[in-house]
Amino acid sequence: MAVPGRSSVLVAALIALASVAAVAGEVFFQEKFDDGWEDRWVKSDWKKDDSTAGEWNHTSGKWNGDADDKGIQTSEDYRFYAISAQYPEFSNKDKTLVLQFSVKHEQKLDCGGGYVKLLGGDVDPKKFGGETPYSIMFGPDICGYATKKVHAILTKNGKNHLIKKEVPCETDQLTHVYTLIIRPDATYSILIDNTEKQSGSIYDDWDILPPKKIKDPEAKKPDDWDDKEYIPDPEDKKPEGYDDIPKEISDPDAKKPEDWDDEEDGEWTAPTIPNPEYKGPWKQKKIKNPDYKGKWKAPLIDNPEYKDDPYVYAFDSLKHIGIELWQVKSGTLFDNMLITDDPEYAKKFAEETWGKHKDAEKAAFDEAEKKRLEEESANTEEDNDDADEEEDEADDDKAHTDTEAVDSTNVKTEDGKGASVEKSDDSKEASAEEKEHDEL
């Protein structure tokens, strides 16, 4: 356990804090994954029994802006990952809470999560897994074409509440910083790379509390409520003889052919053509209804179920930060985690880590891509074996289907409105089993 190291973490954090600027805020947790990180983090035993627990690689990755700036990266495909660290327990009541970390999907992630969780004091880090209750889950999640979003899940009274607003995540293979700020006035902001992507009120953007107002269930539409917007025009009358106009007439221009023999060919009749006078069945014109009152809506009344919770944003116990993921393709690298009450400090921390290295990382990535493409085309030239190529394609297809079939988080909204997230582990297990089954 990381207990002996805890005070040194704090000291390290305080030193780092002092070096950034004079800050009024407090840093609850800060992790740059420098050497010694393994003393501070506990790998869970979750999934070890069935050998589907993945290993972490302490690395700066294949491309980076500073080879010495390491993080931890998922290193095995089709694996579950669960690891956590602890910090002195606190509550964000009456405080601002900032949760921030960077993540890089080097593998060109097509299905997998890149989020972290904050958990309470009653967590056994050795048993931390998909079923472990958490307070906050935050970060990007990608699966297939449909899911490319930032999760921000708040757990209240045992229920996971998803943010109702869409927050698209980054999808490239570079490092990005994700920041969640929750303020004591129950407002929030979500930032990517220090740029605000979403903000608002926790009351509005999560269904944590029941709605303040509901439609009056007693109200009924009055009998004389006219909700027809258009009515037939009483002035519009069917013209006399309208129905007598035939649809077709015999062609006035047709002539009996000269070689027509009435005896042999029968009596000649002109072919019929559409009647230009015919206008179809008569329809009465419609006009705006002068008595139209609009669509009837039940009046809103105060919801008797509603009770304000001024601490809707707050969690009593925050003590662990954890990463719990299922990855089809590994290569997700986490770094520079931070929990503080000071958004300014977080901003500077991001600038001094990600911000300082991002251009060099981009250049390194471009270089690596160039090399990869060159190697790829060299291989294609060498490789004239059609059978091999077909096999490769079949593999690609398979990988694709796998990713489409597996929801990386299994965060399901039960009523389609973004409600509770439960039972995530079962479906993960099912996915893993499907996977194994496929490979038999």
37 or 90: whose CB is closer to ligand NAG? 37
Element (H, E) at 371: helix 356-382
Exposed / middle / buried, residue 311 (Cβ in 10 Å: 0-12, 13-18, 19+): middle
CB atoms under 10 Å from CB of 163, counted, come to 23
Q: Does 368 participate in binding ligand NAG (rule CB under 6 A)? A: no
Nearer to ligand NAG, 106 or 110 (CB): 106
Could you tell me the smallest distance in angstroms from the CB atom of residue 75 to ligand NAG?
A: 4
Reduced to 3 states, what is the DSSP secondary structure of residue 439? helix
Q: How far is the CB of 422 from ligand NAG (least distance, A)?
A: 34
CB of 98 to ligand NAG, least distance (A): 29
Shortest separation between residue 400's beta carbon and ligand NAG, angstroms: 24
Q: Give the residue with the Cβ less far from ligand NAG, 53 or 314.
A: 53
Cα distance between residue 2 and residue 16, in whole Å: 20
Rounded to whole angstroms, the Cα distance separating 171 from 174 reads: 9
> What long-range pairs does 357-361 form, CB within 8 A, spacing at least 24?
357/64, 357/65, 357/66, 357/69, 357/175, 358/65, 358/174, 358/175, 359/65, 360/64, 360/65, 360/66, 361/63, 361/64, 361/65, 361/174, 361/175
Q: Minimum Å distance from CB 55 to ligand NAG? A: 7
Q: In Å, how far from its chain's centre is CA 399?
A: 21
Q: Is residue 335 a known part of a binding site?
A: no
Pairing of strands 175-182, 97-105: antiparallel
φ/ψ of residue 318, rounded to 5? -120, 120
Question: CB–CB of 60/69 below 8 Å?
Answer: yes
Judged by DSSP in three states, 130 sits in coil
From the CB of 113, what's the least distance to ligand NAG, in Å?
Answer: 19
**Nearer residue to ligand NAG within complex by CB, 96 or 175:** 175
Q: Is 188 annotated as a binding residue?
A: no
Q: What angle do CA 306, 308, 310 make, to 5 degrees?
A: 160
Q: Is 240 among the annotated ligand-binding positions?
A: no
Q: Based on CB atoms, which residue is closest to ligand NAG, 74 or 420? A: 74
Nearer to ligand NAG, 61 or 130 (CB): 61
> Could you say which DSSP state residue 385 is in?
-
Handedness of CA 406, 134, 212, 150 (dihedral sign): negative
3-state secondary structure at position 253 = coil
- 46 to 85, contacts with ligand NAG by CB under 6 A? 57, 59, 61-62, 75
DSSP assignments along 22-34, one per residue:
--SS-EEEEE---
58 or 412, CB closer to ligand NAG? 58
Nearer to ligand NAG, 77 or 131 (CB): 77
Site size for ligand NAG (CB under 6 A): 5
Q: Decide whether 57 or 199 has the Cβ nearer to ligand NAG.
A: 57
Any binding-site annotation on 134? Answer: yes
Task: Name the minimum Å distance from CB 61 to ligand NAG.
Answer: 5
Does the annotation list 127 as a binding residue?
Answer: no
CB of 327 to ligand NAG, least distance (A): 13
Distance of closest approach, residue 57 Cβ to ligand NAG, in angstroms: 4
Contact yes or no for 41/2 (Cβ under 8 A): yes
Distance, in Å, from the CA atom of 94 to the CA atom of 87, rounded to the nearest integer, reads 19
Hey, which residues does 332 pair with through a beta bridge? 105
- CB-wise, 61 or 343, nearer to ligand NAG? 61
For the four alpha carbons of 18, 21, 24 and 27, in that order, the dihedral sign comes to negative
CB of 45 to ligand NAG, least distance (A): 20
From residue 161, alpha-carbon distances to 15, 147, 244 in Å are 36, 17, 67
Binding site membership: which residues?
115, 117, 134, 141, 324
Annotated binding site for an alpha-D-glucoside: 115, 117, 134, 141, 324
Site residues for ligand NAG per CB under 6 A: 57, 59, 61-62, 75
